[in-house]
Chains A and B, each alone.
Chain A
Amino acid sequence: MKVVYVNEDWCLGCHLCEYECAFANSGDTDMVRALKDKQIFPRIRVEDGANDVHFAVNCRHCRDALCVKSCIAGALSKTEGGAVVIDREKCVGCFTCVTVCPYGAIMPDSEGKAAQKCALCTDNLMGEPQCVKHCPNRAIVFEDRG
């Protein structure tokens, strides 16, 4: 299946993906209105390290995802295509998934009451992963690597 992959050699550390992710999932049509003066809670997060190393991390959509096996509510599941998705109506915010994800790629939402994660922009109106679309240096790609 197609998943978002990241190449740290190309990542500038600009964090634009975080803003595009927050905007894509805000439900708003205006980026300024959606994000200005607000703390953002993107589902993709950039790590910045020494020696100018930067990379973005989001859900790896594992084939045998531990988060799905660990969810006490049955809120996490795999789509037929293989993406890991969350039903936030069912999530009670126990964060067992946060405690088990080896990538640190699932996190409490802005209110801290349920978990949130990347669904490859299938759960918003964007139609394609916006972190990929807006990455200025093609450090983030959407590809089928098995």
Chain B
Amino acid sequence: MRYVIIGNSTAATFAIEGIRSVDKEGAITVISAENRPAYGRPLISYYLYGKIPAAKMDYRPASFYGENKVEVLLGARAEKIDPAAKKVTLADGREIFYDKLLVATGSRPFTPPVEGLETVPQKFHFMTMDDALALEKALTPQSRVLVLGAGLIGLKCVEGILHRSGEVTVVDLAPRILPSILDEEGAALVQKQLEEEGVKFALNDSVLRFSQNCAHLKSGKELPFDVLVVAVGVRPNVELVKDAGGEVRRGIVVSNRQETSLPDIYAAGDNCESFDTSAKQNKILAILPNAALQGECAGKNMAGGKGYYLGGTMFNAIGFFGSHIATAGVYEGESYTERTENTYKKLFYQDNVLKGFILINNIERAGIYTSLIRDGTPLDAVDFNLLKHAPGLMAFAGSVRREKLGERRER
């Protein structure tokens, strides 16, 4: 059996483990565009921040590929899938034949069509280790940095580079920071803290035009800068599957076993859609844990085992300069709020289930809330008043507590 995996990040790594949990012998080939073993992609901001050295960023121990008998083609870019001939053609002309193929190509940064962007001499994305290393090289203690995008990637980048730069300004079209995970009140709290660290914001604003080292904003402001970071979002890498005739909507369409519409071709990670159990619709759940679960599921199925991925819910853990934010689900229905000067908690519930939460600087045991959302636990089966104030197992029925603490758990 020849297994081929295009991509070499989270989904690919867990797919290797999934395959090997079923088939110890089949040949596994990984086609990796990046020139290094798999690393924790979200660690790149922590690297620049000085929280982790490059040598500690590998996602698995150095022995991983050898022990799992995986051949990794580094710096190799897949250009075409031929599902009839069951082969992948690389940019350098090499042809790799497969029996089972996983497309774990993730996503790529989106470049907005802004006039004059091509005139900016120093511009970067913030997605890969190469991006981080290039940015690191460009920064000096005098650098004026302009970050386009106040989302998760843009602001983690800001945390990483602030102490390496002269000043950092973030521009976003949205009226608040982190609009995908925070409400107004939460965003204001986090923004205030970032401003206290020295970060400048131009929200509700956008760049109309660049002229080399100057951004001309819609508001009329002109922002001179030395280094530009573009972090306005990502697009899924669906083209290989689409061009091969596979079904693609926003992302690659997969079954609950991660099968694409093409025979023997699977997809997992940020390039494919899955069922968002909170929003009750198919979405690209572009978070690392879903890539892991989908990759493992795909791997098991490729090797003839039984894996199912029945959907998931969005959740995020992020923080800046010592703060900690945990969020999950959707922000619909009634809400419960607790607020102090530096902490914020908001729970959203509807139709007898917890729908979502925002926790800022009080994240301990947040996973208990996440599990209520994930499991769709009826709130009348738990002591929700107790849970509102502090997540704990005490709020569950005695019989449920006994199972959780007295039986071996699957997860």
Contacts and interface: CB of A to CB of B under 8 A. Distances in A.
Interface size class of A (residues with CB under 8 A): 35 or more
A70 B365 contact: no
Given A8-B401, A94-B319, A98-B317, A72 B364 contact: no
B405 A72 contact: no
A64 B401 CA distance: 19
Contact of A112 (B317, B322, B374, B411): B322
A74 B410 CA distance: 20
Majority SS of interface residues in chain A?
loop
Interface in B336-365: 363-365
Given A94-B318, A104-B367, A69 B393 contact: no
B402 interface: yes
B43 interface: yes
B289 interface: yes
Interface in B360-382: 363-368, 370-371, 374
A72 B392 contact: no
B286 interface: no
Contacts of A65: 411
Contact of A73 (B14, B43, B326): B43
A110 interface: no
Given A96-B288, A99-B317, A104 B404 contact: no
B295 to A, nearest CB: 9
Contacts of B83: none
A17 to B, nearest CB: 13
Interface in A90-118: 90, 92-104, 106-108, 112
A63 B409 contact: yes
A61 B14 CA distance: 19
Interface residues of B, number: 52
A57 interface: yes
B364 A104 contact: yes
B391 interface: yes
A99 B367 contact: yes
Contact of A100 (B42, B324, B367): B367
A47 interface: yes
Given A72-B40, A74-B60, A108-B364, A66 B46 contact: no
Contacts of A97: 367
> Counting chain A CB atoms within 10 Å of each CB, which of B52, B317, B405 scores highest?
B405
B52 A92 contact: yes
A3 interface: yes
Nearest to B288: A72
B328 interface: yes
B343 to A, nearest CB: 14
Given A62-B410, A92-B46, A96-B289, A73 B52 contact: yes
A12 to B, nearest CB: 16
B51 A102 contact: no
Contacts of B293: 69
Contacts of A96: 288-289, 317
A95 B394 contact: no
A5 interface: yes
Interface of A: 3, 5-8, 47, 49, 53, 55, 57, 60-66, 69-74, 89-90, 92-104, 106-108, 112, 145-146
6 contacts: A5-B407, A47-B392, A49-B386, A55-B393, A74-B59, A104-B368
